[in-house]
A and B are shown apart, each in its own frame.
Chain A
Amino acid sequence: MNFAFRLMFRDIRSGDLLTLLLALVISVSTVTSIGLFIDRLQLSFEQESANLLAADRLIRSDDDIPKEWEAKANELSLQAAQRTSFTTMMFAGDSLQLSQLSAVTDSYPLKGAYLVDDVLFGTGKRSTDTPKQGEIWVSSRLASLLKLNLGDQVEVGDASLKVSQYLVRDPGSSTSAFAISPRAVMNMADLAATNVIIPGSRVRYSLLLAGSREALDEYENWITPRLSEGQRWQTPTQRGERIGDTIGRAESFLLLAGTLAVVMSGVAMALASARFVKRHLMQVAILKTIGATPKLLGQLFLLQLSILFMVGALIGLGIGWGLQEIIASLLSGLMSTTLPEPSISRLWLGAATGLISMVVFCLPLMSRLIKISPLSVLQPNARIELNGFAIYVIGFIGMFGLMCLYTNGFLLPSIMTAAILGIALFVAAIGWLAFKLGRSLTSGATSGWQIGLASLYRRLIPNLFQLLVFTLIIMLTLILIGVKSSLIADWQQQLPEDAPNHYLFNVQANQIDQINSDTTQLGLKKSDWYPMVRGRVTAVNNTTIQSLYPEERGEPELYERELNLTWSDTLGKGNELVEGDFFAEGLSVELKAAKEANLEMGDELTINIGGNIITLPITSIRTVDWGSMQPNFYLILPKSALEDYPANFVSSLFISDAQAQAFYRAMAHFPTVSILNVGDILKQIQTIVGQLSQAIQLVLLCILSAGALVLLASVRSTLEERLEEGALLRVLGARGALVRQALLVEFGALGFFAGLIAAIGAETCLLGLQVFVFNAEASFHPLLWLLGPAIGIVVISTIGIFASRTVLKVPPVLLLRGL
């Protein structure tokens, strides 16, 4: 075996092993860095969402939380806290106000922090404490409504509590738009003394948990069968719709990017393996002539590959880790928070990618290699069939398996695999046609143009293969660029700088004029007023909801709860008519809600509005841009149906930090008006989007460099033949310029076709991805059609000329002999 090492050392010296090593390092490091980076981002999202939840997990219940639930949490060494929220009347002096009150245990919040201030309408400082026994924190709005100052007493039921802080934000505050009213938080220990919770009160009990993932999973398994109706297990990933969407899509993007990196690595490994085998044909044949047995050769290559794998994986993991650290630190310069450390356990993914791609791409070729008959290598007329069908199949299955492993699912790998197969067929057909045409144009090669095109045709099979590789790499690049730009554009469009960040609810008709003049005076931009009447859908086409959904399970949102109904003379901002006539005397339903409830034009809904029953047909369906932060409604009724009911009005507006204090003071004149500030949530979304956009750009850059390396490797793999040909041409008397022109034409044409086909493939893939993975609308990407061929021509001819520059410099005699 000493011999094996010596042979390997000599192989390394000649650079033949290095190509394989390089491919291995590229694949391990790309997959590792992206894998680790995604992990860090995910951890960071989870942390941020945990802050919103105030815990890692939460159980919501309509009834008191059983004692043993908390005991179980302690048993699993989980941190636990409880929160009890309800609406109650609060009194101070001769003022009274209905408020949203929560009582929390001392350990609350497990994640995130309160923002409190000792100045009315202040911006707040972080506090992970809770109000002490006998104390209460009230929101500035509640304080101004009840005319409270710090140190004043406020009465909650039978108890009297001292105001010790102004509450700015509650870490677990619900993002639901209708959980509004002045808020306060008190200590759980005082709750019993208030006597406000009596049987039948509407109370929401929460048990909050935090701890290791394993313990949480175990707890989830334990609790799930014990949950009854009205009790829900919540994880941070079930986030508010907008954040969830944003992060979900970014995760999909990163996953996609990682998958594409896996494919690229596979291509790189396949290329390098093929080159390795080609370069070792002669070695194997000669070793065999001098008596090397297949067994010995097998051991020899296995040993070489094992050492290669270990070295390559180590280097790759190292580089991957470093790269990911660089991306993270570049990013943390732009982010307020630092990313959490990645989990070391994620490293196996990179190593596994390296191992599997070596096994599926190298081993089958190697086993063929050692079986090759030496005579057929040495006999110039014999054809050596190395790339059997089986080898492609193994490679394909391996690649698919890797993608599945990577994405933990089948959807994305299936789309990608179908795309690659489709592209392969397409390339075969198109390429063959194109080259065939090319030849008929090139009979009698005299110019560089003709020599280049003729040369394309002469090596039809290798060129088609190369075309396929180029196409794949360019296509993957285009897909990523396409997804990236549409994602970022989407987000930016979703969240304009001055998107409304406050809602006004419960406004009475007679208050509208005053509020309008106040806001105009303050220079605030406000949406229209929408009248709001509460009502519930009770029947569809005269069948009651109860009989449609007897178990109350899977009830569409439209029927589940009381809805806010409105009427409007205009199709509001962010609304778009899909079907029907908005102004007809009937219902206008939001598209997604209609789909969820299987409703169509003409279906009749029966609605109970404060005891009165009306039945109306659906006369229009519209889409709503929920990101617009305008007041939006599932159901819009004709004015005639609603005008006799007492309505509240709702509006939304943008208030900058500078205007906030003045606005809150002005609104203190309207104690019954509820104000919901969604600015914090919006800001959080905006930061996350900002971070994600940066992250995505960096990951894209990473993959593009990997792609460029693969292209380089691919060009290099045919370099030997091209060198020979270039030298031969020059021996035959061609000028250097002619050879250069021929090469340029050859690579340029390959690049152009690859780019064009890649654009077709990318557009098709994007369609599939948008519809199936990103759940977005399909759209057309004209940029790709320009970018594809441009990248193809420019990048491939540059790489080609760069890699083949030796052809033009080295004396032909040397080349002919050296090969």
Chain B
Amino acid sequence: MKRPRALQVKLARDLWAARWQVVTIALVIGAAISGLLSMVGTYRALSGSRELYYERTDFPDVFVHLGRAPEAIVARLGAIAGVSSVASRLTEPAVVKVEDMEQLATAQVLSLPGGSQPTLEGLVLRSGRNVEPGRTGEALVLEAFATAHGLVPGDELRVTFGGRQQRVRMVGTVLSPEFVFSMGAGALMPDDKRFVALFLGRDAVEATLGAKGTFNDAVLRLAPGTDAIEVARAVDLVLAPFGGRGAVVREDQPSHRFVSDELAQLETMAIQIPVLFLLVGVFLINVVLSRQVATQREQIAALRALGYSAGAVARHYLAFVVVVAVLGSGVAVVAGELIGRAFCAQYAKFFRFPVLAWKLDVDLVAIGAGAAIGVAALGALRAVRQAASLPPAEAMRPPSPARYRKGLLSRLGLLRLVPPTGRMVVRELERRPLRAAISVLGLGASIGLVIVGNFTRDTIDDLMDSQYQRAMGSDVTVVLTRGASLEVLRSALALPGVLDVEPTAAVPVRLHAGHRRRDLAITGVAADSRLRTILDRRGRPIVLDRRGLTLAVAMASRLDVRVGDVITVERLDDHRTRQVEVVALSDEMVGRTAYMGLTELAALWGEEPTSHALLLQVDPLRLGELQRRLATLPGVAQVAETATFLAAFEATTASFSLTMTAIVLVFGLVIAIGVVYNNGRVTLAERERELATLRVLGFSGDEVSTVVIGEMAAHLVVGIPLGLWLGTQMADAIMGAVDAERYRMAATISFRTYALAALSVVAAAAATAMSVARRLRTLDPSSALKARD
């Protein structure tokens, strides 16, 4: 075996001597790169799976829903320039009763493509078989729903749609790219137990709806390079006479959009978090290596005198940080693999792809390792340059005392109030403001990270409170199969357990403001509503007693309108238009929202008030009885229970945010420990003699420790508020990555989270500072005064 060169031996011994510094910095870099690997890897897995899935199922480019049109119209859609194929279908909201659940599940019935010869086009069969032609009682069911209820092919469901209840046999389970992320109307999170898409043969749906030879929904596939928006406009023109609800391009398709939003959020974090970490890494390497070079001044001079070139010396010190970076990359590959797997497993609970395979790409690892080495080199730049340019002759003399001057605090005379050890702390801060600033920034970053890891919980809690418990006072929402006169209220009050009932209406419209337009449904709510409170941005209730429209803040900003502006409202079913004034702005989580008084909304179109859904307040003890009763009523399209909805929402989000919280908390503490430990060790090394002198002068070990701990405390005092601010900014940026129009969740951060972030970092910092300061107490006063060798 070849003997290692002496300089390599020195490198190994230097690394070993500084092992805790090496380890803590490698961990910081490892955390940064593992964040990058896991998040970018997850991003790739998600977008790659989606891409593959779309390709395999030939996911459509344009979607349109309409009142009803004769099948012959399909040919006119197909004739639009750029359209390569059109598939018409019938779809209808439904409710489903399954054995193992008392409540009704919300469903969407869709007819399978292929007319009377149903095909699986656009679907992925997961178990069982396709519906057989001519058999009306068969259905395919979304796999997630079947799994949640333990259904297997052959099981029966009771389905109510089009006002008729029927039994269908589940013959197979499927995945649909339209339901990668599937939610019932008005839901915020997928709930596999309570929402399902059912696929029936076209004949069966036609028979139930009495819709032979017609369609009410279509999906279009376009030739490559076609402008989907242009096609959507043309589709709207063709379908205008048939109650076309406004064609939706792929980007606005709910499931697609949700996945895209998640990807955007992931992208934001995949950059933000690693960059923050790497900045801290640059700083730590800079501080530690600069110290190393300063300590080894005489050694460097000797090496130069012995005939080592400046380049050889530079490479020697560069190798030190490259080892740190390589160690960090090793940590990153292992941690990134584990975290990425965990992320993908979590996403697989929300996003139903045929395959969502985590894979750590080689190029990503290379990028990560490259980034680690690059960052290490960047951090080392100053120190390496110093080492290489050290004139060998000059270095033979010991360094002159470091230059201190009286800074602002001293000059203001404030320092007279401080004991001498305190003055040493202040002078050190004044002397190395950049180092202090970066250390403060590092501590701030770790606090910010802990906040980022926790704020999703707070935001969801807040949502539960404000948006639902306050704004939605009702316990149960019953969606009717068709609009009913207000007479229905009386029969609803007669249902078991119902204490109060209110009507709501929904009118699909297109809003025009100048050249801007948006499609949504105006919700009509009773002017004196007790069960539905609409709040403005300051949390005050809005009373819908004024003529005019109340718009969600996000919608108003998209349309660029203010209170007092008049906009054009076009009905999507018959295209009549009205001019309506915007009278108030409401604070909504779902941006595509507009309200009017119920009677006002009907009067606008010269109609009698009708109710499309009922808000019920229910005696909790009789909820089950009510549910069973509702399940037998054919006029009921959907039943949503606020409490179970909330519980389901919490359960799904909680498991996800828990994984995230744990990972980010560990990351945050890694940074805090890295910053405090390395800063402490460097301070100690730089000032060992000075501190030993204090011991000789009669200061106790504790008093001397305050010089080191005091410096850290000073950094923390500034770092904590900075971190709280930084965390708030990052949380806002992450929530801001979601399109406000679809889904507005202002980041909410609770006092508990702020406290947790500050305290955990303070605890980590304190423990680390103590361990460093312990060395001071064992410092032999006399040894440190001897000439150094």
Q: Are these two chains actual partners, yes or no?
A: no
